[in-house]
Amino acid sequence: MEMNVQHQQPLQGKVALVFGGSRGIGEAIVRRLATDGASVALTYVTSSERAAETVRAAGAEGVELLAIRADSQDVQAIKGAVEQTIQRFRRLDIVVVNAGLLMRGAIDAFSLADFDRMVEVNVRGVFAALHYAAPQMEDGGRIITIGSNTAIRTGFTGSSVYSMTKAAVAVLVRGVAIDLAPRRITVNNVQPGPTATDMTAGHADLVKPLIPLGRLGEPAEIAGLVAYLAGEEAAFITGASVTIDGGYVA
């Protein structure tokens, strides 16, 4: 029986750019998009070895990959990542903004310097990625930001600034979805809860009792939702924030 390759690789022929794609959730997203047939550019900051490993592993799917060093605190680096993607692949269909920064601290102890840095990466960096990528994207493209369920429920002391930045992204997505709707570019926000990555290492026992399903999420599960939103079946979903957290905010 002849296999339906297009069905197995729903993103065949598409080009994706994943900001923050060298490890954790970002790495899982890169691998899933590659499995679904997309060529993928990914950015990293310091994890050059991890980025190279992600490229090697995802490249086994038979698609092209490109690792770009770009700090999401630097808007020119963000612009450069978009330009390098276009130069290499000649098109851009899917943009995933996963790069983010987490710092905790009570409001009376959280420094203004740390506040500025968090806003620069988590809000300004997301805006810049969308600002520079949108004009280069094909009509009917997909933009997906990776937010956090802390936009709905903070849950822990010292998380106020992080939660604020993630709530800002959720609001930004709603407006950008309207801006880009005439071009059929959908814009959605995925809000993971506690997920088994380097960021949650050592905190699993503290968090698990708060999750009705009794476990942390897996990066591959977040990537699966991103892949769905990047595909044709999600063409009528835009301006949405989709929470995937095992019932944490239920």
Six token digits for residue 123? 């809000």
pLDDT at 5 over 50: no
Six token digits for residue 22? 């060298």
pTM: 0.94
Give the catalytic positions in this structure.
Answer: 162
Mind listing the domains of the chain with CATH numbers? 10-244 (3.40.50.720)
pLDDT of 76-124, one tens digit each? 999 999 999 999 999 999 999 998 999 999 999 999 999 999 999 999 9
Contacts 24+ apart (CB under 8 A), 103-109: 103/161, 103/162, 104/156, 104/158, 104/159, 104/162, 105/158, 105/161, 106/157, 106/158, 107/160
**Torsion angle of C-alpha atoms 197, 244, 150, 43, degrees rounded to 10:** 50
Six token digits for residue 104? 């905790």
The CB density around residue 223, as the number of other CB atoms within 10 Å, is: 23
**So what's the pLDDT on residue 7?**
54
CA 90 – CA 84 distance, rounded (Å): 9
What value does the mean pLDDT take over residues 35-61? Answer: 93
The model's confidence at residue 205, banded by pLDDT at 50, 70 and 90, is confident
- Residue 43 has phi, psi (to 5 degrees) of -105, 155
pLDDT at 3 over 80: no
By C-alpha distance, which of 80, 223, 242 is closest to 177? 242
By C-alpha distance, which of 55, 161, 150, 183 is closest to 106? 161
Amino acid at 244: I
